[in-house]
Structure formats: structure tokens, C-alpha cells
Structure 1
Amino acid sequence: MTKGAFYTGEYRNLFKEYGYSEEEVQARLEDTWNQIFYGDEDTKIYYESEDGGGYLVDTGNNDVRTEGMSYGMMMAVQLDKQEEFNRIWYWAKKNMYMTEGVHAGYFAWSCGLDGKKNAYGPAPDGEEFFALALFFASHRWGDREEPFNYSVQAKELLKDCIHKGENNDGFPMWNPDNKLIKFIPDCEFSDPSYHLPHFYELFALWAYPEDRQFWKETATASREYLKLACHPVTGLAPEYAHYDGTPNHIRGFGHFFSDSYRVAANIGLDVEWFGSNEWAKAEADKIQTFFADKDPEDYRRYKVDGEPFDEKSLHPVGLIATNAMASLATVDGPFAKETVDLFWNTPVRKGVRRYYDNCLYLFSMLALSGNYKIWKPENGRNQTYEGSLS
């Protein structure tokens, strides 16, 4: 096992290793940000509100989701875009945060473009991305007044995620016994793509001291869970899975489809941050091998054993991006460079379904260029923010 960037401070630029120049890689990364945040109306997904907020639109569903908002914050902190970060966080805290009911302390997973809540339930993948993006913001820029006291906001959110329900006041987002993240708090099954052990390793350092052992255990539990959830031959994971890793076919989500794509990306980033292991490399090889002989225009929904459905992929560009990010786990794998080249030669998506694809696209650009970094307390400038929000 080789050590990851958490220990070495060194982030691999796979694009450069595979023959692309540093200049063109940096230009491509900046152009991707600019297109997704400030491009034309057929490309951009970021908008600003008159009250000083900012939000990312799920263009396929015409709403604002905690998934996209937390993703936007992570993108912004990685690229040193504090004004956009603060605008997104301001909008999320103002419109999505719930202060009463069984889900108080969490964020409503979907809102209208006007900020009105479409639902009063949360989706845990948003909360975990919010928390780590906030920690990174604290370490990179320094805390300021509420709600921009980033580290406090992160610690309070994580406290709610694991302690709600102890006083019959709601439901935790992680099962307290097996330490696995739930699909939603008031259910008892999981979504393999929600499992981010590399995030939990950092929560174990920066959460409230009394919660740190829990997060360490979740990192171990999630890595073991992914071994159960990913098919032993194809490497494909279902969108929903039971705690034993078997597909959960409730509402038809027991197959490899949109959520599932993120598993490959998560495995790649876990290796980049915390080091390689034989399972991760083998898993990345299986996924890339499965797609090596398939035309992206014919990507489909699949059973986890690889049997295809007639239904086409809704997000083929996102799938190309996440498969490429898996190359971080298998740099010398049989299809690693080929998969990255395919991604490099694929433009950002335009049109109605662009939101999810382009979020995954920018994450892959960050990771493969060595710019998806762990921001530790000692890394930051702790500068005073002088943007437009007060």
C-alpha cells in the first residue's frame, strides 16, 4: 500500500502523467469552472439571487438540491472562489435549513428556485459534502461571523447527523450500530455512492472530540461495505443496497444507474487522499474493463452483473467522468489512460440534463489534475474575507 496525499502532501496530476501539458490542463480546469458557473444559458447551472445568495439548479428537474449546493461549495473551496462559496452557503442556510420538526438541524433536499421548500426531508449526501466543504473553507480562509463560522457550522451539522434520535427527536443519518450511512434518516438501507470513507477520516480529526471515534469507525465500515456492494466480476454497484450489500430493488433502484456512477469516483479519491490498496485497484480495473468495449452513446441502465436494460443512461458524460476518476486507484491499469483520454476528449454537457453530468465532470477535472485537495488547518491563509456578503 502506498501512502496518499494526506501523508505526503503530493497530489498526482494524471493528465500530466498521461502526456498533457500543465498549461493546457490548468486552462481546461479554469474553462470548465467558467462554463459551468458563468457560461451561456445552455451550459451554466449556477445563478445568483438578489439577496446575495447563489444556487445551483438541477436543470433536469428545475429545482435546487442539497446535492448540487454542497457540490458547488466543494468546487468553490477547491478553486479558491470564496465569494461563490459564501453565496451558496448563505442561500442554503437561509432556504434549505430546517429549524423545527423531526428533521431540524438538517437541510431540505429540494427547494424551488425561489427558495421555497419542496420537501421537508434531507438527503445525507448533501450533509456530508456540506460538512467537509465547510471544514476546508475554515482551514483555507478562516472563520468569520455566523453563518460563515465555517468550522462551527460543520461540527454542529455532524453532531446532528449522528446524535439525532437519541432523545426521540428525529433520526440519525448514520446507523449507530453498523456505522453505515442511510439513504435517508428514517429508513434502514443505504446508497453505496453515499459512502465517503476519505471524508470520514477527516471528520475523525475535526469533528467534536467526543464524536471522533465514531467517524473513524464509519471510515472502516464504509470501506468494508463497498466490498460487499460492488459486484465481484463487473465492479458495478446498485443505487440502493441493503446493509449486507445486496441490491435493494425498492422503487426499482437496485440496479447500476445514475447514483451508482459516483462509486468509481469515490474510490479514486479515497486512494488519492489516503493511499492505495489491492481491493481499490482491482475494483477500478473491473469498472473500467466493463465499459472499455461500450460506446458512450449506448451506455444504459445495467443489472449489477452487467446485464443491460433497454433504458439508456441519463448521464453518459457523468459516467465518463467518474470512470476516469477511478484511474487514481489504478494508474497503471489496463484501461486507466484510455479512460482518462476519453474523458479529456469529452466536452461539458449542454442542454436540459447537464446538471448532474457537469458536477461530476468538474470533480473529475479537479481530481485528475491534482487539484482536489485536503485543506488542513495549517494549509490555509486565514485571510479576512472582503466579498460582498456582510
Structure 2
Amino acid sequence: MIGQTILAFSISSLAFTGLAATPEPHTAPNLFADYLGKTQSEVDAKVDGAFQQLFYGDEMTERLYYPVEGDMAYIWDVASDDVRSEGMSYGMMVAVQLDKKQEFDRLWKWSYTYMRLDSGPFEGYFNWQNATDGTKLAPGSAPDGEEWFATALYFAANRWGNGQGIYDYQRQADDILRHMLHKQSTEKTLPIIDREYNQVRFVPWQDWDGVTDASYHLPAFYEIWAKQASADNDFWAAMADHSRAFFKEVAHPDTGLMPDYSYYKETDREIGDHKDFRFDAWRVMSNVALDHAWWGEDPQWQVMQSNRILSFLSQFEPNIPNQFSVDGTPLDRTSSPGLYAMAASAALAADREIGEPFVERLWETDTPSGHWRYYDGIIYMLGLLQVSGNFQVIE
């Protein structure tokens, strides 16, 4: 068996024990102001400029957001010429954080109309890949989409109140979580959440059982669910602690790098190059630091981890490779603005002298444009919101 049983045993030892206390959220700081001395008007202009470019910029070279008939819109993955649940849910989160209800509702209506699966073993999930005309392409779910959809919907309920039908945001978020946790397994499919191990799966397919994706572990979001979901609140609170323990297991002790995919119980599934720190894994820097900024439940380790990974990356300035083996061997010479955005987000937990250069680099980085603007652009926007204090718990 190729599964890493040490990881599986250590994580499963955190057995779900029922009642779990939920912390009160903190206000995330504005590091552009605190570290760089930028005025609020300067920060607002920086954030608004990125939003305007990615949502309303040039159709061929800048924007990701495309309105269509029926009061809908999609986020376009330019390089792949498709629409992904990841990008749609990220776009919704950007919209709710910036109080853009029209954009939020358009994205949500497109997602619900074309991506939500209405029958079969994946009923209630969202198809991970569609064509721009709404046609479903590769079948099945990528669970980070469901996680970000649900959290964005809870925030929308709190910011704007609930409407009717698909705009009853609270009910829609509750429905997503119910399917993620309680769906029945079939010969080929599984629920998104592995209840035995309190893990989010990489994909809900039987032949991928035992594999998870560190960037899908979102303890900051699970605390939201523990507070706001209509059911299973104690489970979600416990799952946040499981993800915090998981990060400690998979982070390399010297570099702090985490792989794209990890084993959490024995399996014969090969994960190939995804054992390395690649594009998915950039986001884990933000997942750790945002949890620290919002909840502060594991401050000693989260600060140490953020210092460790940023210190490692800083050795490669001014052009940090965007892929490494977890022991620190560069696997590509290309540098990416999305990686810098996530590294800047890690400054929310790092010591100032380590984090500040990454905050300054993000400030100086232009909003991505061109052929590769989808992934770099959308996580650049998320990083900008997080570092500027515009990414908060909306209660």
C-alpha cells in the first residue's frame, strides 16, 4: 500500500467527541496600512482598480466576469476556455466581501442553473467544469467549490438578508453542507466529507478514497459553519481542529511547503506529481493565515508555519519559482503573481520583518491580465482583499 498510514493514524486519533466551543471572530488587519503606511483612500483605490479590471475590464485581455442573458454571469477560465466551480465560488466571495450584490446574484444564478446537479449520486453538488454556454463537461464535484459556495452564501445571508427560492442564501448553504456530509455512498461515489476521519476528500469518487487536498482544508470556514449552519454545528467545529492538526502533519519540517494532494489513510491511488508543492498548494498559505487572523485558535504553530514558509520562499527573490518539491527543490523557473498574492496573505500570521516584503511585493504587483489571468487573477484578488483588511467574517 502506498498510503501514508502515520498521517492517517495521527489524524484519526482526534476522534469526534461532540460538543465543541466556537470562538469569536477577530477583525483581520489592513497590512497595507499597518506595514506600508498606505492611506485608506490609496488602499480602496488599489482594491477597486483590481475589481474593476477583473470584472469590467477589456473583454479580450483583462476581465474574468462575463454577464449573460437571464441576469446571470460566469467567471471564465481563459486558458482552458471553461467555467469552474472554483472560480464561480471565488467570484461570489469577492462580491459579497465588497458588497456587490448584483454581481453575486448573477454568479450564483449561473452556478445554480448550470452547475448544480439535480439527480444521480452527485445530486446537490456542483459540477466542477462547464462550458461557457452552461453545458456540463467533466462530471463530478471539486469540493473546494462547494466549500466556498456555502461560506459565501452564509455571508450573503448576513449582509443582505434572505430572499426567495435560490436567493434564500441560508437555506441554500445549509443544503450544500447537508449533501457534503450526509450523502449516501454508492459503488463508485462517496460524500465529500469523510465522517470517520473528519476530512474533506479530494474528490467524492471511491477510487480516490484516502486522498485529500490541503488547499481544500478551510478551518476558518468550518468555524463559520459551526456558528451559522442549521445542523451539525459541533461536527464542523471539530473538523476545524482536525484540519489544523492535518496541516501540522503535511507541512515539511524545514521548508513549510505542503503538497497538492496527501494521503490520510491507506490507498493504492497514485498521486504522481501532486505530491509536490504546485498550484493548488499555493492557497494553503492563505488557509493557515486567514484562520489565524479570524480565529487565532492555534497561534503559536500558525505563526511559526507562516514564518517558516515565507523565510524559505524569500531565498529565491526576486523571482520565486512557482513549483517545488516539498523539501525545497525548485521544479520550475516561472514566477507567478498568484503565488505572491498567497504569500502576502501568509503575512497575516507571520512576524512583520518576514511578512512585510511580501506585502510590499503584492502592492507593487499589477492586476494579472492576458492569457493566464484566470487563476493568477482570481487568487490575486482574494489575496488583495485579505491583505487590505477587506476579507472579514460577515456576521
TM-score over 0.5 (shorter chain):
yes
Q: Is the 8 A contact 1:296 1:320 kept in 2?
A: no
Q: 1 CA distance for matches of 2:367 and 2:235?
A: 38
Gapped regions of structure 1 (runs ≥ 5): 1-5, 377-390
Q: Deviations over 1:271-317 (max 9, x none)?
A: 110016111111111111111121454514210000122x344x710
Report the secondary structure of 1:147's partner residue: helix
Q: Which moved more, 1:159-168 or 1:281-290?
A: 159-168
Question: Residue 38 of structure 1 corresponds to which residue in structure 2?
Answer: 56
CA 1:296/1:54 → structure 2, altered by over 3 Å: closer, same or farther? Answer: farther
Asked if the contact 1:237/1:304 (under 8 Å) is kept, the reply is yes
> Match of 2:71?
52
Residue correspondence of structure 1 range 268-283 to structure 2 within 5 A: 268-275=289-296, 277-283=299-305
Counterpart Cα distance in 2 of 1:296 and 1:175: 41
SS at match of 1:55: strand
Which string of whole-angstrom CA distances, capped at 9 and with x for unpartnered residues, describes residues 168-217 of structure 1? 895211111110111001122100011000100111111223x1121111
Distance 1:166 1:194 in 2: 21
Q: Distance in 2 between matches of 1:120 and 1:331?
A: 43
- The structure-2 alpha-carbon separation of the partners of 1:133 and 1:259, relative to structure 1 and needing over 3 Å to count, comes to same
Structure 1 CA distance, aligned partners of 2:147 and 2:196? Answer: 19
Give the deviation of 1:167 after TM superposition: 8.2
Return closer, same or farther for 1:224/1:244 CA change in 2, 3 Å cut-off: farther
Query: Are residue 349 (structure 1) and residue 368 (structure 2) matched?
Result: yes
Q: CA deviation at 1:128?
A: 0.3
**Matched residue, 2:7:** none
Determine helix, strand or coil for the equivalent of 2:61: coil
CA contact (8 A) 2:26 2:295 kept: no
**Which range is displaced more, 164-173 or 230-239?**
164-173
What's the offset of the Cα at 1:373? 1.0
Work out whether 1:329 is the aligned partner of 2:346.
Answer: no
CA distance in 1: counterparts of 2:186 and 2:217, whole angstroms: 26
Q: Structure 1 residues 296, 99: CA separation in 2 closer, same or farther (over 3 Å shift)?
A: farther
| Deviation per residue, 1:314-364 (Å, 9 max, x gap) | x710000000000000142x3211111111111111111111111111111
- The CA deviation at 1:9 is 5.1
**Partners of 1:317 and 1:349 within 8 A in 2:** yes
SS at match of 1:115: coil
Structure 1 residue 266 corresponds to structure 2 residue 270: no
Indicate whether 1:11 and 2:31 are aligned: no
Q: Residue 103 of structure 1 contacts residue 120 of structure 1 at CA under 8 Å; is this kept in 2?
A: no
- Tell me if the contact between 2:279 and 2:322 (Cα under 8 Å) persists in the aligned partners: no
- Residue equivalent to 2:327: 305
Offset of 1:38 from its aligned partner?
Answer: 0.6
TM-score normalized by structure 2?
Answer: 0.89
**SS in structure 2 opposite 1:329?**
coil
- 8 Å CA contact retained: 1:36, 1:45: yes
Match of 1:383 in 2: none
Match of 1:27 among 45, 62, 72: 45
Pick from 320, 323, 330: which aligns with 2:340? 320
Q: Identify the range of structure 1 (130-139 vs 9-18) with the bigger mean alpha-carbon deviation.
A: 9-18
Identity rate of aligned residues, in percent?
A: 38
CA RMSD of aligned residues (A): 1.9
TM-score by length of 1: 0.90
